[in-house]
DNA sequence: TCGTTCTTGAGCGAACATGTTTAAATTAGC
DNA sequence: GCTAATTTAAACATGTTCGCTCAAGAACGA
């Protein structure tokens, strides 16, 4: 076997297996460790494989794997885009209810710089961030839920009942075309329900990754919202159907 | 599993859970403690996780909290000593009201690790810090006052009225041997008054630098407290006089 | 046929990754 | 305040893995 052939074979094998130990690879390419190493060194230089201690990885596999991080970062830029679009819906002088969750946190940060809005939230992260902002902030008190950084419970619900806001921004962890919006936790669902009932304009903030992935606890139907802000429109049929019930969909 | 893959997995897990103990993480990543520590040390260096004693945190989750830490470090040792002494007054199972302010924040942090206490506070800094703690936390909602990080106003006062606590810890910015305790701001004075009225044991946390330096707004007489924790006892006459009205003075 | 060049494989020391042990630091409990 | 327990960090030991060097053999041309 010529060196050229061997190197092509190695490429193919690695691409197929995506990740394998040095020994596994050696078993398939019947050559001495030294030669295999030499080949791999070349392939690595050419960018055709990625070597790690004890094995090799397919670059495209690593890319998708690493993009877990990138997705979070990327997602956060998507979330920023959502937040920016959402912020445009807030008129001067408005009182704004902001849900807990990362997307809504971005929105809160986007509004924070404005002197002419009044934020109401039960998100500890947002309140903490608001130190640096200009907006006036009212914090809904309640039990601290450490996983989400939200203040929830009976106290939070009843505090909410004294409030009326111009706009409410609510996040969701799952969206279903038929059922509507859902989240993972009962008390948070209650909070969301209440928030929606306390505002005139009810805005859903949820990117396309949530679409068709319902979570455990349902908290609102589609007609429970006046607006939905997303980064990707759903299929046109579904869009038409949703809009028929009065929902405005905004693409960030 | 290759080291590189493992480190990616750890990142992902921590990001998902946001806060977890070392043991929890070790259970998910089946690897020896030493190796996990080594990985975490690297990830910390890269800024991908934040390590705390006994656990790890997702950085994007805690970032807001950094500013508070900085402020506290300035005069920590005296305040830490006060906090440690104060924490001894809290029996197991107690419900504890904690005022805003740096000294009380230290106390809150001291209590945070205890599973057997319930903290109630209107201090945003304390709630934000409580993410790391074990104690259950109820946050009194209200208007965010950005200079002090306290939640105040009518909503806070009325939320407080629904509560009864075993112990209340209150700070002061000025102490007068005759007049009692004072602070700089009207609404905060109201909060302090209310907190004292809602607790059985009423503890003043104030170091010697406040002694004989009254502030603008008076909020309590000496007989309004059951205990005072300080780092230096006042002159013996004054001490005798104060104790005569039933006040216990603790030196940290 | 000989010598040069290239490739290959083997050997060896260094580097690496991991687990175990031990000491220090931190925290909790009294 | 102190002591005991937990957590962390450093030191050590071990088994792999890596990269280098060198010699053997094949390929090639003179």
Which among B57, B85, B100 is the end of a domain? B57
Distance (Å, whole) CA A78 – CA A62 = 22
- pLDDT of A75 above 80: no
- Residue A64 belongs to a domain: no
Averaged pLDDT, A169-175: 94
- A151 and A198 both lie in a single domain: yes
Q: End of a domain among B57, B81, B102?
A: B57
- Asked if A52's CB is within 8 angstroms of B4's CB, the reply is yes
Q: How is residue A220 written in tokens? A: 């609102």
Question: How many angstroms separate the CA atoms of B103 and B89, rounded?
Answer: 15
B117 and B47 share a domain? Answer: no
B241 and B121 share one domain: yes
Cα(B215)–Cα(B238) distance, integer angstroms: 19
Q: Which nucleotides of D are covered by protein (CB under 7 A)?
A: 6-11, 16-21
Q: The tokens 């006089």 sit on which residue?
A: B241
For residue B114, tell me if it sits in a domain. Answer: yes
In a shared domain, residues B18 and B102: no
B52 φ/ψ angles, rounded to the nearest 5 degrees: -130, 165
Q: Which domain holds residue B46?
A: 3-57
pLDDT of B145 > 50? The answer is yes
Number of domains in chain B: 2
User: pLDDT-derived band of residue B200, with 50, 70 and 90 as boundaries?
Assistant: very high
| A4 CA vs D27 C1’ separation (Å) | 16
Distance (Å, whole) CA B11 – CA B43: 8
Residue A62 falls inside a structural domain: no
A118: β partners = A95, A136
B143–A124 CB contact, under 8 Å = no
Judged against a pLDDT cut of 50, whether residue B66 lies above it is answered with no
- Are B27 and B130 in a shared domain? no
Boundary residue ending a domain (B57, B84, B103): B57
pLDDT for A1: 62
Interface test with B, best of A109, A131, A143, A173 (most B CBs within 10 A): A131
* Residue A73 pLDDT class (50, 70, 90 cuts): very low
pLDDT tens, position by position, B93-116: 889 999 998 888 888 888 887 888
Contact A138 B136 (CB under 8 A): no
* pLDDT, position B209: 85
Asked if A159 lies within 8 A of B156 by C-beta distance, the reply is no
pLDDT-derived band at A72, boundaries 50, 70, 90: very low
CA dihedral B220, B161, A167, A72 (to 10 degrees): 80
Q: Residue A94 in 3-state DSSP?
A: coil
Region A71-90: mean pLDDT is: 77
How many helices (H) and strands (E) chain A has is answered by 9, 15
Cα B60 from chain centroid (whole Å): 22
Q: How far apart are CA A192 and CA A208, in angstroms?
A: 20
CB distance A130–B146 less than 8 Å?
yes
Mean pLDDT (chain A) is 88
Cβ contacts of A19 on chain B, cutoff 8 Å = 2, 5
**Rounded to a whole number, what is the distance in Å from the CA of A131 to chain B's nearest CA?**
5
Taking the whole predicted model, whether its pTM rises above 0.75 is answered as no
Residue B233 belongs to a domain:
yes
Q: Give me the sign of the Cα torsion angle A23, A29, A31, A36.
A: negative
What is the distance between the alpha carbons of residues B181 and B168, in angstroms, rounded to a whole number?
A: 15
A104 with A42, same domain?
A: no
Q: What is the pLDDT of residues B147-199, one digit of tens each?
A: 888 999 999 999 999 999 999 999 999 999 989 999 998 989 999 999 999 99
Say how far A58 CA is from D24 C1', in Å.
Answer: 34
Same domain, yes or no, for B119 and B232?
yes
Confidence of residue A135 (pLDDT cuts 50, 70, 90): very high
B86 and B9 in a common domain: no
When pLDDT is cut at 50, 70 and 90, the band that residue A71 belongs to is very low
Residues 36-75/A with CB within 7 Å of nucleic chain C are: 38, 53-54
Residues B13 and B97 occupy one common structural domain: no
- Which pLDDT value is given to residue B69? 37
Positive/negative CA dihedral, A170, A172, A176, A177:
positive
Which residues lie closer than 8 Å to A82 by C-beta, 6 or more apart? A103, A106, A107, A205, A207, A229, A230, A231, A252
Tokens of A76: 């956060």
Q: Which of B1, B3, B4, B47 to mutate to test the interface with A (most CBs of A within 10 A)?
A: B4
For residue A32, say whether its CB is under 7 Å from any atom of strand C.
yes
Backbone angles phi, psi at A123, to 5 degrees: -95, 115
B17: pLDDT confidence band, cut at 50, 70 and 90? confident
pLDDT at A176: 92
Measured between alpha carbons, how far is residue A238 from residues A49, A176, A241, A244, A245 in Å? 43, 11, 5, 10, 11
Q: Please tell me which residue of chain B has the smallest CA distance to A22.
A: B2
Q: Which nucleotide is nearest to B34 (CA to C1')?
A: C19
The model's pLDDT over A86-125, given as tens digits with 9 standing for 90+, comes to: 999 999 999 999 999 888 998 999 999 899 999 999 999 8
Classify residue B166: in a domain, yes or no. Answer: yes
CB < 8 Å to B191, chain A? none
Tell whether B47 and B71 lie within a shared domain.
Answer: no
A228 with A124, same domain: the answer is: yes
- Confirm whether B82 is domain-assigned: yes
Quick one: DSSP state of residue B182?
E
Mean pLDDT for chain B overall: 86
Q: Cβ–Cβ contacts within 10 Å for residue B235, how many?
A: 10
């Amino acid at each position: 076997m010529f060196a050229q052939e061997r190197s092509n074979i190695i490429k193919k094998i690695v691409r197929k297996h995506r990740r394998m130990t040095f020994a596994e690879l050696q078993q398939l390419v019947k050559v001495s460790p030294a030669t295999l190493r030499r080949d791999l060194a070349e392939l690595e230089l050419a960018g055709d494989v990625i070597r790690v201690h004890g094995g090799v990885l397919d670059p495209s596999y690593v890319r998708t794997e690493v993009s877990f991080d990138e997705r979070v970062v990327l997602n956060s830029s998507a979330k920023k885009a959502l937040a920016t679009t959402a912020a445009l819906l807030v008129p001067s002088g408005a009182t704004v209810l902001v849900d807990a969750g990362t997307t809504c946190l971005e929105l809160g940060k986007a509004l924070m710089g404005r002197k002419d809005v009044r934020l109401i939230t039960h998100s500890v992260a947002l309140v903490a961030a608001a130190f640096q902002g200009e907006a006036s902030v009212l914090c809904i008190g309640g039990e601290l839920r450490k996983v989400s950084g939200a203040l929830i419970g009976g106290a939070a619900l009843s505090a909410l009942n004294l409030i009326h806001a111009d706009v409410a921004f609510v996040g969701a962890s799952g969206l279903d075309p038929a059922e509507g919006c859902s989240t993972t936790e009962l008390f948070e669902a209650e909070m969301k329900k209440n928030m929606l009932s306390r505002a005139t304009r009810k805005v859903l903030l949820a990117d396309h990754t949530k679409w068709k992935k319902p979570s455990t606890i349902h908290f609102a139907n589609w007609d429970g919202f006046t607006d939905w802000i997303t980064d990707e429109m759903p299929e046109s049929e579904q869009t038409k159907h949703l809009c028929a019930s009065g929902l405005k969909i905004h693409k960030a």
